[in-house]
């Protein structure tokens, strides 16, 4: 003996099976599917953020290594002027890498001439730090002078927000560029390739101490690996698209159809007006509470569905990507400008690429050519 629960249609007297079955099925899909997809999406977005922070950490570490550990060597390698230009280009490449990686993971097949842009940016930064006037300086950047007169370092201008503006310009270039490649974009691979070439040239020309080369080389490899791992969580890579659309469509049915279906029940709670009586009928408190609860439930469901899509698209609407790319550019700007220290006459460690051998660490002047002493320069 069992209990059978079914609704009767008022006109036919039969069970209202199609409506009830469809709504029950949609609610089951939404309940199980949305919970599963939200859990998986939350795990994916956290894992993606971890990889993004690895890219950020390695990029900042490389920026420090290029500015603090490279030394001019006019006898064997780059002199101070050439090395300064090369370091600025490497910093520009490190700024451009997260932007190119982000656009690649979004499926943008645009390939702007990033290497040429970075060379132009390096030339511009070198002129601005020399204090040369120009339209870029007057319109975009704020500069102030600082000097290292006690140690004999050349006077340079502090250029603020330079790489932040460069990062934003790259974002604009990717969004406005109409030319696309038929295959996937290789901009990130090109940036890593160029960075490796510059670094190996610095090693061969003895502009980097031999004992530091494995650490810097490993950081370049780690940044490349973290960038490739980021692509695993992109929406264009691995995504249960059919399942997402099924859950999303079912959720829309539940969120939009249920309020319409319950309107008749809510209207039955209105006060009864006798025939021939004319008066304004206001909704009862129960009707207002029912409408508010129903609207809130539908809004929550639609918000969860929107969050579900966002979590499966971590590099689109899932995370604040501008905070990531501009955060890297901001740290590189601060490293370049010594975090805008007021007293620059007594820095713990100056930028070695801007100094000459005679102005470096005084303790090793008698035996400067030794690699161990070169590693201790400040």
- Segments forming the whole domain that contains residue 291: 252-266+284-311
What's the whole-number average pLDDT of the chain? 78
Q: How much is the pTM?
A: 0.77
Lowest mean pLDDT segment, chosen from 54-63, 189-198, 223-232, 268-277? 268-277
- The fraction of the chain above a pLDDT of 90, given in percent, is 30
Query: Looking at the structure, do residues 260 and 166 belong to the same domain, yes or no?
Result: no
* 30 vs 117, residue with greater confidence: 117
Lowest mean pLDDT segment, chosen from 7-16, 269-278, 333-342? 7-16
State residue 83's pLDDT score.
87
Q: What is the CA radius of gyration of the chain?
A: 31
Distance between CA atoms of residues 360 and 212, nearest Å? 18
**N- to C-terminal Cα distance for the chain?**
90
Distance between CA atoms of residues 39 and 43, nearest Å? 6
Helix (H) or strand (E) holding 99: helix 80-105
Compute the average pLDDT of residues 277-287.
68
Query: Looking at the structure, do residues 98 and 83 belong to the same domain, yes or no?
Result: yes
Q: Residue 274: inside a domain, yes or no?
A: no
Helix (H) or strand (E) holding 118: helix 114-129
Compute the average pLDDT of residues 92-106.
94
Residue 3: is its pLDDT beyond 50? no
Compute the average pLDDT of residues 289-317.
88
pLDDT tens per residue, range 143-178: 454 444 444 445 567 788 999 999 999 999 998 877
State residue 101's pLDDT score.
95
Query: Looking at the structure, do residues 204 and 106 belong to the same domain, yes or no?
Result: yes
Please, which contacts does 196-202 make with residues 24 or more away whose CB atoms are closer than 8 Å?
A: 196/220, 198/86, 198/89, 198/90, 198/93, 199/90, 202/70, 202/77, 202/78, 202/86
Query: Looking at the structure, do residues 130 and 181 belong to the same domain, yes or no?
Result: yes
Range of 48-57, 176-185, 251-260, 286-295 with top mean pLDDT = 48-57
State residue 298's pLDDT score.
87
State residue 63's pLDDT score.
94
Q: Name the packing angle between helices 80-105 and 162-176 (round to 10°).
A: 40
State residue 353's pLDDT score.
64
Range of 64-73, 274-283, 319-328 with top mean pLDDT = 319-328
Query: Looking at the structure, do residues 261 and 132 belong to the same domain, yes or no?
Result: no
Query: How many structural domains comprise the chain?
Result: 2
State residue 228's pLDDT score.
93
Residue 260: is its pLDDT beyond 70? yes
Query: Looking at the structure, do residues 78 and 109 belong to the same domain, yes or no?
Result: yes
Of the candidates 312, 333, 349, the residue with the CA atom closest to the CA atom of residue 121:
333
């Amino acid at each position: 003996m069992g209990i059978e629960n079914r609704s009767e249609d008022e006109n036919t007297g039969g069970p209202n099976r199609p409506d009830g079955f469809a709504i029950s099925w949609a609610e089951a899909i939404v309940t199980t599917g949305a919970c599963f997809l939200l859990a998986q999406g939350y795990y994916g977005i956290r894992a993606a953020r971890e990889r993004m922070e690895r890219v950020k950490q390695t990029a900042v570490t490389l920026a420090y290594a290029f500015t603090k550990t490279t030394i001019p060597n006019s006898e064997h390698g780059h002199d101070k002027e050439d090395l300064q230009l090369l370091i600025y280009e490497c910093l520009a490449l490190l700024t451009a890498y997260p932007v190119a990686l982000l656009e690649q993971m979004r499926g943008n097949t645009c390939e702007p001439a990033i290497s040429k842009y970075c060379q132009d940016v390096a030339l511009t930064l070198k002129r601005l730090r020399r204090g040369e006037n120009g339209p870029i300086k007057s319109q975009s950047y704020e500069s102030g002078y600082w000097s290292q007169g006690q140690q004999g370092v050349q006077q340079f201008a502090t250029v603020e927000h330079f790489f932040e503006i460069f990062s934003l310009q790259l974002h604009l270039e990717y969004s406005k560029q109409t030319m696309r490649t038929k295959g996937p974009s290789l901009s990130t691979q090109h940036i890593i390739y160029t960075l490796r070439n510059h670094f190996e040239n610095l090693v061969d020309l003895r502009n980097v101490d031999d004992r530091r080369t494995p650490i810097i080389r490993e950081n370049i490899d780690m940044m490349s690996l973290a960038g490739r791992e980021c692509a695993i969580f992109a929406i264009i890579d691995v995504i249960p698209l059919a399942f997402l659309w099924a859950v999303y469509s079912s959720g829309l049915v539940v969120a939009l159809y249920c309020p319409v279906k319950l309107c008749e029940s809510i209207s039955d709670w209105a006060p009864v007006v006798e025939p021939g009586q004319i008066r304004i009928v206001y909704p009862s408190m129960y009707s207002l509470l029912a409408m508010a609860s129903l609207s809130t439930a539908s809004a929550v469901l639609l918000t969860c569905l929107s969050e579900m899509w966002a979590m499966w698209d971590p590099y689109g609407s899932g995370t604040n990507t501008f905070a990531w790319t501009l955060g890297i550019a901001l740290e590189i700007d601060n490293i370049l400008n010594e975090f805008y220290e007021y007293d620059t006459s007594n820095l713990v460690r100056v930028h070695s690429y801007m100094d000459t051998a005679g102005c470096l660490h005084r303790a090793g002047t008698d035996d400067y050519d030794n690699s161990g002493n070169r590693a201790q320069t400040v």
